[in-house]
Amino acid sequence: MRRQFLQLTSAALIVTGLTGFYLLKTQPEKLPVASNLMPVDAKEIKLPVGFSAKILGTDMGATRHIAVAKNGDIYVKLAKLKDGKGIYLLRDTNKDGTIDEQKLFGDFPGTGIMIKNGYLYASSNKAVYRYKLNEKEEIIDFDKPEKIIDGLLDHGRDNAKPLAIDGKSNIYVTIGSYSDNCRQAGSGKGMSPCTILDSAGGIWKFSAEKSGQTFSDGVRYATGVKNAVGIDWDTKTNSLYATAHGRGKFDDFYPQYYTPKHSAELPAEALYKLKEGDDAGWPYIYYDHFQNKKMLAPEYGGDGKKTSGEKAVDPFVAFPAHLGPNALMFYTGNSFPARYKNGAFIAFHSQSAELHKGYLVAFVPFVNGKAGKWEIFADNFAGTDLVKPTGPIQHRPCGLAQGPDGSLYVTDDLNGTIFKIDYKKK
């Protein structure tokens, strides 16, 4: 078993000044840390009063979803292999608030990662694996993950496989659509029925405890969900929630009905509460958050005015178009103010022409299982004015996790940065 931990270099972690190699033994060695180098406040991140952000690491590759163990160990999934590996383990050995050890393991890239029932679950773009954890939620054997699901569809587009697990050891896996609108080749018309929905454009349910499963062992839990990169099981309402990416342009094939402005501001991105058998309507419909209506898609006879007769579920919350919701997390901690308890954080990966905002973390308050009005929680990850940019985008929020102390972790897959957000009452 490869037990070597590589020290975070100054190019990869801005908060340490260590050099050299260290071995992780049964009890990790306490590594020296330069006393004058502490975590840096990410002062450019705009947060509500009482909250502060710091950067734990950067230049770490395409950091996607993230999980934090009860001992504080951080597991980060990479969309692209780094040094031949696809998962980071980051560790603060002396509990001083800085990361001083890292290990790369797992030879598969992907997005999904989570801790549940004594295992670390992680996905590639075609399969789901799990690693057995000890009582401290440390991996017992890095070299022998158990493959529990294989043969999931991967056409190279919208192929992330996010994960959620309920209280009955069912695991939910997104299989996103590789087509934007299920059009017939070379035509403006949609396939009817859309055969893509047989194996993509939805969320499938498998056993979280059984190895050797294939796609045919799964149950299509919900369909008509174009690409739900953010999914989470809410223990408060005992329900699956998903954030769906909307479709692309309307005006390319249908300029008689839609303008470029329509394409820039429609359709809504959406948060859905899903039960088994639900249909969110893609590709036959889209949701117009200006009219607050489900509209018939132009590929299926829509003209921007026709509402849909499809029996599709309504969004729980609708967001402006093209924000790119890439992670969803229900907050169960106690360190944030009480209004955040049981509410949902969502990491948005892109920007909205309607809002002139983007690259942010939003919050949706929940009261008695009902969603309130969404709000921007953490802003300015872009690091530049999105109306009049003065430089390139700096960070794109992609993953969310709750720490054992109730803090919020945010990953960025553009520059491989990991942020930690804390609250201290003033």
Please tell me the predicted confidence (pLDDT) of residue 233.
98
State what percent of residues in the chain have pLDDT above 90.
84
- Mean pLDDT of the 360-374 span: 96
Please tell me the predicted confidence (pLDDT) of residue 41.
54
Please tell me the predicted confidence (pLDDT) of residue 185.
85
Inform me whether the pLDDT recorded for 141 exceeds 90: yes
Instruction: Say what the pTM is.
Output: 0.90
CATH number of 4-423: 2.120.10.30
Please tell me the predicted confidence (pLDDT) of residue 98.
81
pLDDT 10s digits, 251-305: 999 999 999 999 999 999 999 999 999 999 999 999 999 999 999 999 999 999 9
Residue 252: what residue type? D
Please tell me the predicted confidence (pLDDT) of residue 25.
26
Please tell me the predicted confidence (pLDDT) of residue 5.
36
What order do you get walking across the sheet with 101-105 strand by strand? 21-23, 4-6, 101-105, 85-91, 74-82, 63-68
